[in-house]
Structure 1
Amino acid sequence: MAITASAPGRVNLIGEHTDYTGGLCLPFAIPYTTTVRLTRRDDDRIRLTTTHAPRPWEGRLLDAGPGAVAGWAAYAAGTLWALGEAGFDLPGMDVLIDSTVPIGAGLSSSASLEAAMAVGAVALCGRTLDSSLRRELVEVCRRAETEVVGAPTGGLDQHAVLLAPEGGALLLDFDGAPPRAVPLTWAEDRVVLVIIDTGVTHALVEGDYGSRRAECEAATAALGVRSLRAATLADLGRLQDPVLTRRARHVISENSRVEDAVAALGARDWTALGRTLNASHRSLRDDFEVSCPELDLAVDAALDAGALGARMTGGGFGGSAIALVPAERVDGCRRAVDAAFTRAGLAAPTHLDGTPSGAAAVIADDAASVGPGYSSGSSR
């Protein structure tokens, strides 16, 4: 038996570093995917092979827990381990992994791999991927990244790649309200969402992501609130530490910007949405301090070339920016960003398609979908 599953990358339109602080986020899926082909084995071995690394990983489910796997295999094997911990009775399997999601670009290549593995593995167990199971897999994938990989993520990415509506964004409320689909209709008004991959590698495990989360937790404790979602800008005067003040100000104001963005989307007011994106970038740059010169350059160049709004997207410390651009200015905007990078002595960025897409899914469930050498029980 063979299963082929796929999961997208994601762009977070707005709502950065708000998931782990009980706040609001607005991600959507993009048309770049991780595809996994899983073939059931006759033993309990797991063999993971990827087109992006020369050597496979092989072991048993018990070998895939926290501290046991490193590198790319930690995301894939860690997801299988988390599925086992959640009570799924997994068979041995051979897995071939391929991906078009840029790695290190802040577009959730890790969550894409986790979700594709989870969706494929549960299908291999004979489970039907309904909405309830999707929600269960969100926590499985988040646990894999947090406990096995060691990245203290808040769950935004896993929600996005597993639950995103086709052609729309997903309004996530980490204070308890259920996710809500938000239509993205800018294409109908000849507006384009451009993704600019700066080429600066974004690494949550190795970067300062954990320190930002710790600072938010310290601000929450100092304010005596259950989460920063419960705080207001007026509360900031009670914080004595200027760093914690800046971090909290970003989170509190970013939650308001998510609400503003949803309102602008509903009104199809692209100018207002652009202003909100700009304000988000300034806050991430100045208050949360997770931007970098290359991201700032991409944002500034896009705005100078006529973008309605632009911001860094993702956790920061590198990765990608997004720009909301009238269709007739897209080519000029991309050329202007490239020229700005050249003047700065930087390699040209990569421009990616920001078309809203669909969530993770099983795309084939027969042995014919699997290439040569991936028959049942193969030890290739």
Structure 2
Amino acid sequence: MSAQEAIPIYTNLTDLYASLGTSLNHAERWANLAEEFEKRFGRKPEYIVRAPGRVNLIEHIDYALFGVLPAAIERDILIACAPTTPLADATPHAPGSVFAENLHPKYTRQEFAPAPKAKPSNVDDDVHVEGWHLDIPQQLRWENYVKAGYYGVLENYFTGSEVHPVPVDLLVTGSVPAGSGLSSSAAMVVASTLAFLAINGKLEGTTDKITKGELVKMSMENEKRVGVNSGGMDQAASVMSVPSSVLYITFYPSLTASPTPLPGGAVLVCAHSLKVSDKALTAKKGYNLRVVETLVGARVLARTLGIPVGAREKITLREVVGKLTAETDVGAGGKGMDVPALMDVLQKMAAAVEQLKPSGSADPDFGATMEEMIAMSGLSAEEFHEVYMSWVEVDATHFRLYKRAKHVCSEALRVLKFRKLCLDTAVAGADPAAGNLVALKELGRLMNESQTSCADDFECSCEELDLLTQLARDAGAYGSRLTGAGWGGCTVSLVPEDEVDSFIKKISETYPPYKGLVGDALSEVIFATRPSTGACVYKFD
């Protein structure tokens, strides 16, 4: 199981490049980064770490604990790193000092150092207290994502230890467009976490090497330091993906990831709407609000169905489904219900979700006020705010519980249908001219349904994404939908592999923001990719 696997550490560049894909000149990028590191810091790096961005073919349900189907892309974040070499006549560096530079000229050199905290004298030794201070403003600056990755390593490996982290030099570069919905932020946090683990000897020479699953969980917690309550899909896709496959990721009852091969004959094309989407900026009215609406909808639905929910329990829609069917084997290491059973119950959930509509309301979408939502939850105002509002900031006067639950349950079923079709096609060994073509058209239909649901029920699309997905279908894509959190960013389209060039040309001519873009400027905003491998480390001799 990929969650239990160790992080790959390469010492042979030929093997490394073979795992990354074919649409980028990876060798040139890696060599350029290593050479630039040596120019700036006076020696070769010890490691280059890589974390890819990702696309979502069907998703936006991970925080409800339903499975998702993302894929790593070839575009990535690279960080070259080495322990800082102290100068003979210089003042010694503070423990764990970081000297970080970015290959992009618009980013300036950053220097920072963590400070260990003293445990208060009135706190017992067995009580966990965060042991380090590292200033991480919730601002959209690249170094804050580096700091977020560092913080998790400090807390997990150096709290209460007499050993201090080593000073480190970092040089960062990236090919994932920022604010595009391709998880550049998650890739940056994963890469940063890996860099600090590598430099501090936590990936090699230990009996308890960090697993991919542990790296995912650490990176999830790290990204919260910059104000994003991620469900884990972005980090899991960046860490656990394998070439030529999408990754079926489940979160309940435990984190699992298994590759699902895409049928041959098509590639993925990512197109930036050029409306920047950043969860940290839009979270209060967007991503974080949807998390709250989905969680509260789950509690209200559970009460409607007669499922008992504890006063402090933050039940998810996936758990509601499990309790509705008296699901067993969900303890530690349990697998829960099998996929056919889950598909069956999800098909029946549509009628149950309809019960979230208020009887006699003039608004079938059900926009509940805060007071109405609290009353429907069965909690006191104090209990409600403690469970649902104390840990996240949202900005809304009305909460659309019905529409959010409708999207989540229908999308969860689309994920399973998409996966089943991919697996069935692989087993059948279909010819691209026959069976694969049928499968690709059906996969495209599911992607189109997902986009409609994202636009109408989850309301995380926007005019630019709606237009771009429609133009993609008109240009010959089997299917097209937004990818990432939404409200801007990228679309992902499933495109016949022999029509990619003509497809990109049509989009460049019909999507107004692309007018006048050619060459590198165009390839920055629309590009083809095949599913790539997940995070890895290259160790220099």
**Which structure 1 residue ranges, 4+ long, deviate > 3 Å from structure 2?**
65-70, 129-132, 344-349
Q: Residues 135-190 of structure 1, C-alpha deviation per residue, up to 9 Å, x if partnerless?
A: 212122111111x200111111111111112322221112224423233343x3x2
Q: SS of the residue aligned with 2:157?
A: coil
Give the match for residue 78 of structure 1.
Answer: 148
Q: SS of the residue aligned with 2:290?
A: helix
Give the match for residue 258 of structure 2.
Answer: 181
Q: Residues 175-230 of structure 1, C-alpha deviation per residue, up to 9 Å, x if partnerless?
A: 224423233343x3x22221111221111011121111121122122123631123
Residue ranges of structure 2 left out of the alignment (5+ in a row): 1-44, 87-92, 116-132, 159-163, 308-314, 322-348, 359-365, 368-399, 426-438
Give the match for residue 102 of structure 2.
Answer: 50
Q: C-alpha displacement at 1:286, in angstroms?
A: 0.5
Q: Label 1:67 to 1:326 Cα distance change in 2 as closer, same or farther (>3 A).
A: closer
Give the match for residue 60 of structure 1.
Answer: 113
Q: C-alpha displacement at 1:353, in angstroms?
A: 2.3
Q: TM-score, normalised by structure 1?
A: 0.88
Superposition RMSD in Å = 2.2
Within the alignment, does 1:205 sit opposite 2:280 as a pair?
yes
> Residue 316 of structure 2 is aligned with which of 227, 230, 236?
227
Q: Residues 4-42 of structure 1, C-alpha deviation per residue, up to 9 Å, x if partnerless?
A: 1111111112122x1111111111111111111112135
CA contact (8 A) 2:140 2:280 kept: no
Q: Label 1:112 to 1:352 Cα distance change in 2 as closer, same or farther (>3 A).
A: same
Q: TM-score, normalised by structure 2?
A: 0.63
Q: C-alpha displacement at 1:289, in angstroms?
A: 0.6
Residue ranges of structure 1 left out of the alignment (5+ in a row): 367-380
Q: C-alpha displacement at 1:60, in angstroms?
A: 1.2
CA contact (8 A) 1:261 1:276 kept: yes
Cα separation, 1, equivalents of 2:218 and 2:58: 24
Cα separation, 2, equivalents of 1:135 and 1:151: 20
> Residue 217 of structure 1 is aligned with which of 278, 295, 300?
295
Give the match for residue 12 of structure 1.
Answer: 56
Q: How does 1:12-161 map to 2 (within 5 A)?
A: 12-16=56-60, 18-41=61-84, 43=93, 44=95, 45-52=97-104, 53-62=106-115, 63-67=133-137, 71-88=141-158, 90-128=165-203, 132-146=210-224, 148-161=225-238
Q: Label 1:131 to 1:294 Cα distance change in 2 as closer, same or farther (>3 A).
A: farther
Cα separation, 2, equivalents of 1:345 and 1:323: 17
Q: Residues 258-298 of structure 1, C-alpha deviation per residue, up to 9 Å, x if partnerless?
A: 00110121133111111110110000010001111111111
CA contact (8 A) 1:264 1:270 kept: no
Give the match for residue 371 of structure 1.
Answer: none
Q: Which moved more, 1:171-180 or 1:301-310?
A: 171-180
Q: Label 1:66 to 1:176 Cα distance change in 2 as closer, same or farther (>3 A).
A: farther
Structure with greater contact order relative to length (CA < 8 Å, sep ≥ 6): 1
Cα separation, 1, equivalents of 2:540 and 2:514: 48
Q: SS of the residue aligned with 1:86?
A: helix
Q: Tell me which amino acid in the other structure corresponds to 1:159.
A: A
CA contact (8 A) 2:138 2:280 kept: no
Give aligned pairs, total: 361
Q: Label 1:68 to 1:92 Cα distance change in 2 as closer, same or farther (>3 A).
A: farther
CA contact (8 A) 1:182 1:262 kept: no
Within the alignment, does 1:237 sit opposite 2:354 as a pair?
yes
Q: Residues 315-334 of structure 1, C-alpha deviation per residue, up to 9 Å, x if partnerless?
A: 00111111112223323322
Q: Tell me which amino acid in the other structure corresponds to 2:533.
A: G
Q: SS of the residue aligned with 2:187?
A: helix
Cα separation, 1, equivalents of 2:155 and 2:444: 43
Q: Residues 324-373 of structure 1, C-alpha deviation per residue, up to 9 Å, x if partnerless?
A: 1222332332222222213x89776721222111111112335xxxxxxx
Within the alignment, does 1:336 sit opposite 2:493 as a pair?
no
Q: Label 1:176 to 1:296 Cα distance change in 2 as closer, same or farther (>3 A).
A: same
Cα separation, 2, equivalents of 1:119 and 1:49: 17
Q: Residues 36-83 of structure 1, C-alpha deviation per residue, up to 9 Å, x if partnerless?
A: 111213532112211234322212123525548762111101110111
CA contact (8 A) 1:307 1:323 kept: yes
Q: Which moved more, 1:137-146 or 1:331-340?
A: 331-340
Give the match for residue 421 of structure 2.
Answer: 264
Q: SS of the residue aligned with 1:283?
A: helix
